Each structure stands twice: as C-alpha cells, then as structure tokens.
Chains A and B, each alone.
Chain A
C-alpha cells in the first residue's frame, strides 16, 4: 500500500521523509494539489455501492483504496497552477480531491478537519489550559480599554498575530514583539489584538511530537541577548538547538493535547523560564522540523516515515443484513 504526500515540489523537508520511505521500500506518490489539472489528474466512480478512485502524478497511478496514509505537508492551493485558475476551479478541485480522500480508510497526518481547527491560536490556548500546560496570561481583544487595563496588570507584554498569518500586500512579517509600558493602545480597535505576558526565558523549546514519540530540542538564550528580541525566528543566531528530555508532566499533557486535537503530528513551542517551567506558546500542526533534525540529529523524519508506513487498521466486520435489521 502507498503513502500519499501532498506538498510542493520545493519542499526539501518532505524529501527527508521520502528518503526513509524509499529506504524501507514503501511505495510513495507525491503530488501538489496546485498542479490539478495540469500534471495531476484524478478520477473516482461510485457505482453499485462501491467506490473506485485513482490519482495520477508524474507518471504514477495510485488507487485511493490502496493508500495506507496521507501526509498533508505543504500542499498548494488546489488547481492554483491550472492554465486558467479561478476561485471556482479551486473549490471544484478541492472538493474533488479532498472529498474523495476523506472517504478512504487511510490514516492522516493530519486530517484536514483537525488541522483547520488546530490552527486557531485562541483554541490552542484553551486546549493547552485544559490539558494542564502552563499558559502565559493572554488577552485577545478589540477594546483599547481592555488592553490598557491588561497592561496595568501585566506591564511586561508582547504582541503577536492572532492567526499566525502575515500580511502579503505588501509582504510583511509580524514577529512576536515587546510592547512598551507607555504604549498607545487606541489602534487595538482596528483589529483583534493578542497581548501576552512576556516570559523571561532562558531557552526556547521546540517539542516535535510524531504519534506517541516526543522529540524535544532546546535553544538556550544567550546571557547577552538583546532584550528586545523575543521571537527566536528573528533573533541573531545563538547557541545551536540541542536535544533535551521532556518533563514527565509535560509529556503527559502534550499527548493529551494531541489526542483531544485529533492530531498525529504537532510541533509545540514553549518558553522555558528561570525556574525551568515550560510555558506553552503554540502548537503548529504542520510545523517545520528539518532545522531541528539537521542541528540535533534527532530522527524526526524517520519517525514520520515509520508512522506513515504503518498498515491501515483492519475494518471491523460489517454487520450482516439480519443483524442490521435487528438494530
């Protein structure tokens, strides 16, 4: 049975997993939904109570019923590169592809419905609280007065996008940034704003979870770090990422988080404070892992390949007609 990988061609991080799948002899079909209908084709028929579907890409043809797993990595917008792209064609292509795949028995990393829900940061914060993870005091508001009062209670704040998305017109990045105590919060009225108590961190933690396997890495904050730099993605390169053990309570909590989120993969970001507490910041359901593996040597790609390679669980025996009638 085949592993289906939905991602872009330039996704070299996905390559790290494909290499392991090839090494273990597991068939792989990799395609980018953006290439529907120019390079990627699909067909499915629902006849006589049965479904038969196929996907084709790069000269490979795979039966949808023959998929053991689907890895949704970095797929493009369906039909985004069609000769005549349109919002209507994208919706058609999306419904056809993901609709057929939703009906198969393959295991997902991650299921699109779970992934969509898991991208909501406010939902993440609440789930983390419920799972017992420490969450910094956070306010999401459009009330300038609420922001001012929150800043009085928690004078050392950061601001970050609610969605994690970044504006593209023009392209800009919005890093997590410190908010000065005397800031004018009147612009909070013009868009939901996420304010969070800053954790005086001594390290960043990236905890990558693949199924039941936890792989944590730690990047120490240099003693002479610029106190204005709070977003590790924008900070000047410091010490390398190094493997670190996961505290037992944290391990239990993140497993509960993924179970309740119905995710097979998650990349958690924590800030480690001076007491060694890991404060939950977010969980990226499709977070990057290549940069951690190349620095730490942790077998993240291999773990993903092993998860994707597992056989599809056998279906429970179907009820016969008599027992169906009895119900």
Chain B
C-alpha cells in the first residue's frame, strides 16, 4: 500500500559536521568562536554545507 514515489525514498542524511558558530542575538548574526561573523567566511560555509540546497528538510521544502 506504499505510494509509488516512496519506492525511491532513501534515509535522510543529517549534516555530519557540527556548525562551528552560534547565534548572537545582539548582532542578529551567527558568530565563530573567535568573534568573526560566520557568513563572511565563504570557505567555511562551503565546508559545512549549511547554505546548500538539500532534500529532506524537516520544516521546509523549498530548496
């Protein structure tokens, strides 16, 4: 009784890398441990993949 499309489902992949930044409500930005703004470090963003289009989001289906 499984819908046809689910024959092609696979387990959702969680991000393997913990994000090395945390939200600063004063700045309204995520900052790294050394105080730098995470969004300004494009090499880091590429590495952690948090700006990437993915599938399987729990809350959003617009990728």
Residues on A lying within 8 angstroms of B by beta carbon are 9-10, 12-13, 15-16, 18-19, 28-30, 58-59, 74, 76-77, 119, 147, 159-161, 163-168, 170-175, 177, 185, 187-188, 190-194, 206, 231, 233-234, 267, 284-291, 293-295
Residues on B lying within 8 angstroms of A by beta carbon are 1-13, 19, 21, 23, 25-26, 28-30, 37-40, 42, 45-46, 49-63
**Hey, which chain A residues are within 8 Å of B23, CB to CB?**
9-10
Complex CA gap A286/B53 in Å reads 11
The reply to whether B11 and A173 contact each other, CB–CB distance below 8 Å, is yes
**Hey, which chain A residues are within 8 Å of B7, CB to CB?**
187
Name A12's contact: one of B8, B11, B38, B56 (CB within 8 Å).
Answer: B38
Residue of B28, B38, B49 with most chain A CB atoms under a 10 A cut-off: B28
A–B complex contacts, Cβ < 8 Å, 8 sampled: A177-B8, A185-B4, A187-B7, A190-B1, A191-B4, A192-B3, A287-B53, A288-B54
A294-B42 CB under 8 A given contacts A77-B59, A166-B12, A174-B55? yes
What are the 4 closest A-B residue pairs judged by CB atoms, nearest first?
Answer: A290-B51, A191-B3, A173-B56, A15-B39
Complex CA gap A185/B45 in Å reads 42
Closest to B56 in A: A173
A74-B38 CB under 8 A given contacts A58-B28, A166-B12, A193-B4? no
Closest to B11 in A: A172
A173-B13 CB under 8 A given contacts A15-B30, A58-B26, A159-B8? yes
Name A167's contact: one of B9, B19, B26, B46 (CB within 8 Å).
Answer: B9
Q: A15-B39, A288-B51 are in contact. List 11 more A-B contacts (CB 8 A).
A: A12-B21, A16-B51, A28-B28, A147-B4, A166-B57, A173-B13, A173-B55, A173-B56, A174-B8, A191-B6, A206-B53
Closest to A34 in B: B59
The reply to whether B30 and A12 contact each other, CB–CB distance below 8 Å, is yes
The reply to whether B5 and A171 contact each other, CB–CB distance below 8 Å, is no
Complex CA gap A191/B58 in Å reads 21
**Hey, which chain B residues are within 8 Å of A161, CB to CB?**
5
**Hey, which chain A residues are within 8 Å of B6, CB to CB?**
167, 172, 174, 191
Complex CA gap A167/B61 in Å reads 11
Complex CA gap A147/B3 in Å reads 13
**Hey, which chain B residues are within 8 Å of A287, CB to CB?**
53, 62-63
Complex CA gap A172/B40 in Å reads 32
A19-B12 CB under 8 A given contacts A193-B3, A288-B63? no
